[in-house]
Amino acid sequence: MGFMDDVIDQLCAPGSYESVYHSPKRHAPMPSVEILTEIVSRLRAVLFPGYFGHSEVEPENMRYHIGTNLDKIRRLLTEQINRGHCFVCALEDLDCTRCEEEAERTCRRFIEALPELRRLLATDVMAAYEGDPAAVGPGETIFCYPSIHAVTNYRIAHALQSLGVRLIPRIITEMAHSATGIDIHPGAHIGEHFFIDHGTGTVIGETCVIGRNVRLYQGVTLGAKSFPKDEDGVLIKGIARHPIVEDDVIVYSGATILGRVTIGKGAVIGGNVWLTRDVPAGTRVLQTPADQE
pLDDT band at 37 (very low <50, low <70, confident <90, very high): very high
Which residues are paired to 279 by β-bridges? 263
Q: What is the mean pLDDT of residues 258-287?
A: 97
Give me the CATH topology for the region 201-293: UDP N-Acetylglucosamine Acyltransferase; domain 1 (2.160.10)
Every domain of the chain with CATH number 1.10.3130.10 lies at 28-181
**Sign of CA pseudo-dihedral 105, 44, 158, 24:** positive
For residue 188, give the nearest of 167, 166, 213, 169 by alpha carbon.
169
Q: What is the mean pLDDT of residues 137-155?
A: 97
* Residue 291 burial by Cβ neighbours in a 10 Å radius (0-12, 13-18, 19+): exposed
pLDDT in tens, 217-253: 999 999 998 777 777 778 778 789 999 999 999 999 9
Q: What integer best gives the mean pLDDT of the chain?
A: 92
Measure the CA–CA gap between 3 and 75, rounded to whole angstroms.
Answer: 48
Give me the CATH topology for the region 28-181: serine acetyltransferase, domain 1 (1.10.3130)
pTM: 0.92
Every domain of the chain with CATH number 2.160.10.10 lies at 201-293
SS3 267: coil
